[in-house]
Amino acid sequence: MKTKIFNSTLLFTLIMSISLSAATTATAQTPESSIEIQALAIENQLRCPVCVNQGLTTCALALCNDIKNSIRTQLAEGRSPDNILLFFEESYGTQIRSGLAPRGFNLWLWSWTVASVIIPTTAIFLIINRLRSGTN
Amino acid sequence: MPEIANILGVAGHTALGVSLASSILCVLLGISSRNATDLATTYTRQQNLIILIFIGLAVSLSILTYSIVTDQFALKYVVEHSSSQMQVWYKIASLYSGQAGSLLIWTFAISLGTLLLSRTRTASFQARGLNAITILTFIILAFLFPLTFLSSPFELTSRVFTEGIGLNPLLVDPTMLIHPPTLLLGLASTSIPFAISLGMIISKTSNIEWSRSLRRWTLISLLILSAGNFLGAWWAYTVLGWGGYWGWDPVENCAILPLIPLAMLLHSKPLQERLGLFYTWNLMLGCLPFVLAIFGTFNVRSGLITSVHSFAESDIGPYFLGLLAVTLLTPAILLTLGTRVKSVTHNYDSVLSRETGLIINNFLLLSIGLVILGGTLFPVASELANGARIVVGPLFFADTVGPLLTILLIFMAFTAPLVWTKTLKKNYLQQIKFPISLAVLISIFAVILGANGLINLLAIFACAFGILIHSFEICRAITKNTGVASSPYDRVLQPFKRNPRRYGGYIAHIGLAVMAIGIISSTAYESRNRFTVSPGDSFALGDYSFEYQGLWGRKPEKNGIEIEAGTEVTLIENSEVVKVFRPGRRFFYAAPNQPVAIVDIDTSLIRDVYVFTQGWDEQQVAEIQILIKPLVQWLWIGAGLYIGGVLVSLSARDKSMLKNS
C-alpha cells in the first residue's frame, strides 16, 4: 500500500514537472520574424512617455503605437537596437528607458540594492559563526 | 429624500461618536490601570467598551451601505462614488472606492479583530492582554479621528443632487467586489500582530499564550493579505488589458511589502522556540507589517508616489505621516531603550540543520524586502535630491528581485528535508539525490526544448526541485504512517492532521513554486504581436491562426455604461472556428474619455490566448493585439495551493515549545 501511494505520487509529480517544463519551452519556440523579436525586445526596454508607470509594449496610446512602428521601421533600415534605444532616449529623455542605468543619481539605488544583499548575507555568516562558536 | 439623508447623516455621525468616545475611554482605562490590582475588572470593562466600539462602527457602516444602496444623494460621499444607474453590488463597491469609506472599513476591520482578540481566553491575559487591547483601541482611535473630523463619510452636500458620479470605470468589475475589501481586511489585520508584539515590548516579557496568538494572527494576516494581492493580480490580468498581472507599481509594492515581514516572522518564530534566538528580531517583525501597511496607506493618500492605483488620493496624507512616525518610532525606541536581549540557550549542533536553512531564508526575504522598498521610495528620494523624479520601472525589479526570488526558491527546497539540530549528511544526501537529479534532468530537458537565459533556467530548476522535494517529503510522511489510518484517504490526510504547521507549510511552498512556473513561463516565453486588419483578414501568431470578422456593439444600460463595442476575432484550427473572441472597449457616461478594456481570453492549462483591441476606425480597420501566455493558469493554481497550505497550517493546534518567561 505504502509503495503504491509513493509510486503514484512520484509518477504524478514527474509527469507534472515534465509537462510543465515541456510546455514552457515548447511555446518558447514560437517562430517569430527576427525583426519582430528584436522589436519586442526594444519595446520591453522602453516605457510610455505619457502614462504613469506604463510600459511601451502594453500602452495603447497613438503616440506609443507610432513609437512601436518607428522601432520596426528603424530595424528594417538596419539600425542596431542600441542605436534605436539611444534615438528614443535623445527624443524623449532618459525617462523613456524602462531600465535604470547604473549612472548618476541612479547609483544610489544600485548601491542600496547591493547593500540590501551584502548586509543580510554578512549577517547570515556572522550569526551562524556565532552559533557554531557558542556550541564549540 | 434629503430629510432621510439628514437623519442618516446624523445617525452615522452619532454612531461614529459613540465609537470614538468608547475608544477614548478604553485607552484611558488601559493606561490608568497599569498599576491597578484588579486587572481582571479593568479587562472586563475594556471588553465591554470594545463591544460598544464595534457596534458603533457596524452601525455607521450599515448606515453608509443603506445610504448608498438607496441613493441618498444628499450625502457627499454617495454623490462622489455611487450612482442610481449602478447594480446594487457595484453600489456596495462604492463603500471602499473613496477615502472615507475605505477608512471606515479599515477601522471596522480593526475593531472586529480587537473584539475577537479580546474574547481570547488565556490564563495570563491581564498584563499582555491589557497592553495589546489598549494599543489596538489607540489605533482605532487614530483612525476614528480623521473619520470624524477630517474626512467623514456622512458629510452632507451643500446643494441637492439627483444623481451621483458613480464608480471609477476601472472598478466596475466583479473582482472589485472582493479584491479591495480583502486587501483592506488584510492590511487592517496586521494591526493585531503589531499590538501583540508592542504589548510584549512594553511588558518586557514573552508569554506562551500571546506567542501562540501572535503566530495565529500572523498567519491570518498572511492569508488575507496574500488573497487580496492574488485577487488584485487577477483583476489586472482580466481587466486592464495589458496582458500582465503585476506591474511593480508603487502601490502594488506597498501592498506586498507587509507580506515579507509576516513570512519572515513565521519562519523565524521557530528559531526563537528552538534556540531562544531572534527574540527582539521577532518583536520587530511583529510590528513591521502594520508599519508598512500605514506606510502604504500614507503613500496612496498623500500622492507622494505616482501610481495608476491612486484612486483615494486626498489631503489627509500628513496625518498618516504622523501615524507612520508614531507606529515606527514607538517600538523602535522602546526596543532600543527598554528591552535587553534575552539570554539564550543554544542548541545548535550543526550547520546542516533546519535552523541554518531558516536563518538563510529569513535574511533572503529581508534582502527582497529591502530591494522592493528601495525601488518604491527611489522616485521620491530622487525628486527630493534633484527636483526630478526618476521612475523605477518593472525592469529594475525583474533584474533584482527575480534572481533573489530564484535563490530563495532554491534555499527553500534545500531546507525542506533538513531536521532540527543536526541532519546526518548521509541521510540528507539520500533524501535530496533523487529530486535534485530529476530537477537537473528537467532543466536539461528544458534546454533541449529551447529554454534559454541563466536565471530562467535556474528558476526552472528551482521550481522543479522545490515541487519535487516538498512532494517527496509529504509522500514520505504518508508512507511512514505510524497511526491506525484505515483507508488510503485517512493515510493521505494523517500527516496534515498530525503536523499541519509543517505540512501546510510544504503545500504553501509547492504553491509558491507552481506560481513561479506560471510567472516565469508567462513572462519569459510569452509571444505577442499587434495586427492592423480589415474585416475578413487572416493573421497568425506562432501556431495560432486568427480571422478578423468585423465590429460589434451593444448598450448594456446598466452600471453607468454608455456603450460596449469591439472586434470579433475567430481562432481557426484546421479550417474550423474553435473560439470566437469579442474584445473591445467599455465607454461610461460619466467618463467618456476613459474607456475600459474588454479582454477576451481562451484559457487552458498549457497556455492562454489573450486578445484585446486597441482601437478601430470608421472603415472597421482595427488594431488587435494577441498574446500567447504559456502556463499562466498555473499562477492561479499555485496561488490556490498556497492559500490552501496556509489554511492547513492555520488549523494547527499549536504545541509550541516556548516557555513562559
Contacts of B442 in chain A (CB under 8 A): 17-18, 21
**What residue in A sits closest to B527 (Cα-Cα)?**
A30
List the 385-404 stretch of B: residues with Cβ below 8 A of A: 385-386, 390-396, 399-400, 404
Provide ipTM, 2 decimals: 0.85
- B375 touches A at CB < 8 Å: yes
Query: Which residues, numbered 274 to 303 in chain B, qualify as contacts with chain A under a Cβ-Cβ cut-off of 8 Å?
Result: 275, 277
Contact between chains at A53 and B525 (C-beta distance less than 8 A) = no
Partners of B553 in beta bridges: B565
Chain A residues lying within 8 Å of B381, measured CB to CB: 108
Taking chain B (661 residues) in runs of 10, the rounded mean pLDDT of each run is 82 95 93 69 86 96 94 90 87 88 93 89 57 92 92 86 82 84 94 92 74 88 96 90 85 93 93 81 94 88 62 71 92 80 63 90 96 92 83 88 94 91 87 92 86 87 95 88 68 85 94 94 85 92 91 85 91 89 88 84 93 88 91 95 95 54 33
Nearest chain A CA: its distance from B327 CA (Å): 23
Q: How many Å apart are CA B485 and CA B491, to the nearest integer?
A: 5
Q: Residue B326: what pLDDT?
A: 94
* Torsion of the alpha carbons at B243, B370, B404 and B361, rounded to the nearest 10: -120
* Predicted local confidence at residue A31, as pLDDT: 42
Nearest to B451 among A6, A25, A132 (CB): A25
Predicted pLDDT at B44: 83
Q: Which long-range contacts (CB under 8 A, 24 or more apart) does A78-81 make?
A: A81/A38, A81/A41, A81/A42
Which are the contacts of B590, defined by CB distance < 8 A and separation ≥ 6? B83, B165, B166, B169, B560
Residue B612 pairs with which residues in a beta bridge? Answer: B625
Alpha-carbon gap, residue B542 to B269, rounded angstroms: 49
Question: Residue A44: closest CA among chain B residues belongs to which residue?
Answer: B395
Q: Which residues 246-275 of B are in CB contact (within 8 Å) with A? A: 247, 249-250, 275
- Give, rounded to a whole angstrom, the gap between the first and last alpha carbons of chain A: 45
Q: For a pLDDT cut of 90, what percent of chain B falls above it?
A: 48
CB contact under 8 A, A117 and B404: yes
Q: Pick from A22, A40, A54: which is nearest to B528 by CB?
A: A40
Pairwise CA distance, residues B652 & B312, whole Å = 38
Chain A's closest residue to B350, CA to CA, is A132
Judged by CB atoms closer than 8 Å, whether chains meet at A27 and B529 is answered as: no
pLDDT value of residue B658: 39
Q: Would you give the distance in Å from CA A47 to the centre of its chain?
A: 14
CA distance linking residue B49 with residue A131, whole number of Å: 47
Nearest to B262, CA basis, from B224, B208, B230, B210: B224
Spatial distance between the Cα atoms of B9 and B252, rounded to a whole number of angstroms: 34
Among residues B382, B193, B384, the alpha carbon closest in space to that of B284 is found at: B193
pLDDT on residue B610? 94
Distance from CA of B119 to the nearest CA of A (A): 39
* Most B-contacting residue of A38, A53, A63, A108 (CB-CB within 10 A), to test interface: A53
pLDDT digits (tens), chain A, 136 positions: 555 555 555 565 666 555 555 555 444 444 446 787 788 888 888 888 887 777 888 777 778 888 988 998 899 888 988 899 889 888 888 778 887 888 888 899 999 999 999 999 999 999 888 888 875 4
DSSP assignment of B254-305: HHHTTHHHHHHHHHHHHHHHHHS--HHHHHHHHHHHHHHHHHHHHHHHHT-S
**Cβ–Cβ below 8 Å for B371 and A20:** no
Work out how many CB contacts closer than 8 A connect A with B. Answer: 210
Residue entry with cell 548618476: A104
Pick from A53, A11, A58, A1: which is nearest to B629 by CA?
Answer: A58
* Contact assignment for B391 to A44 by CB distance below 8 Å: no
Nearest-by-Cβ selection for A124 from B359, B442, B541: B359
The pLDDT value given to residue B656: 44
Residue B395's nearest CA partner among A109, A93, A52, A98 is A98
Q: Nearest residue on chain B to A96, judged by CA atoms?
A: B391
Say whether residue B243 is in contact with chain A using an 8 A CB cutoff: yes
CATH code: domain A32-99 is 1.10.8.640
Contact between chains at A27 and B360 (C-beta distance less than 8 A): no
Closest to B82 (Cα-Cα) out of B160, B4, B1, B161: B161
Q: Which of B188, B194, B193, B200 shows the shortest CA–CA distance to B131? A: B200
What CA–CA distance (Å, rounded) separates B24 from B50?
A: 11
Contact call for B614 and A65, based on CB within 8 A: yes
From chain A, pick out residues whose CB is under 8 angstroms from the CB of B392: 100, 109
Tens of pLDDT, residues B344-356: 566 677 888 898 9
Q: Hey, are the CB atoms on A32 and B542 less than 8 Å from each other?
A: yes
Distance CA B276, CA B343 (A): 8
In this complex, do A98 and B542 lie within 8 Å of one another by their Cβ atoms?
Answer: no
- What is the C-alpha separation between A86 and B51, in angstroms, rounded? 64
- Compute the distance between CA of residue B654 and CA of residue B497 in angstroms, rounded to an integer: 12
Contact between chains at A23 and B606 (C-beta distance less than 8 A): yes
Q: Is A26–B275 a contact, with Cβ atoms under 8 angstroms apart?
A: no
Contact between A105 and B382 using a beta-carbon 8 Å cutoff: yes
- Find chain A residues with C-beta within 8 A of B306's C-beta: 52-53
Beta strand extents in B2-130 (DSSP E only): none
Query: Which of B251, B371, B545 to probe the A interface (max A CBs under 10 A)?
Result: B371
- Enumerate the domain spans of chain A: 1-30, 32-99, 102-136
Residue among A9, A30, A112 whose CB faces B628 most closely: A30
DSSP label at residue B149: I
Of A3, A24, A121, which has the smallest distance from its Cβ to B630's Cβ?
A: A24
pLDDT for res B390: 82
Q: Cα separation of B646 and B227, whole Å?
A: 11
Q: Is B349 on the interface with A (CB under 8 A)?
A: yes
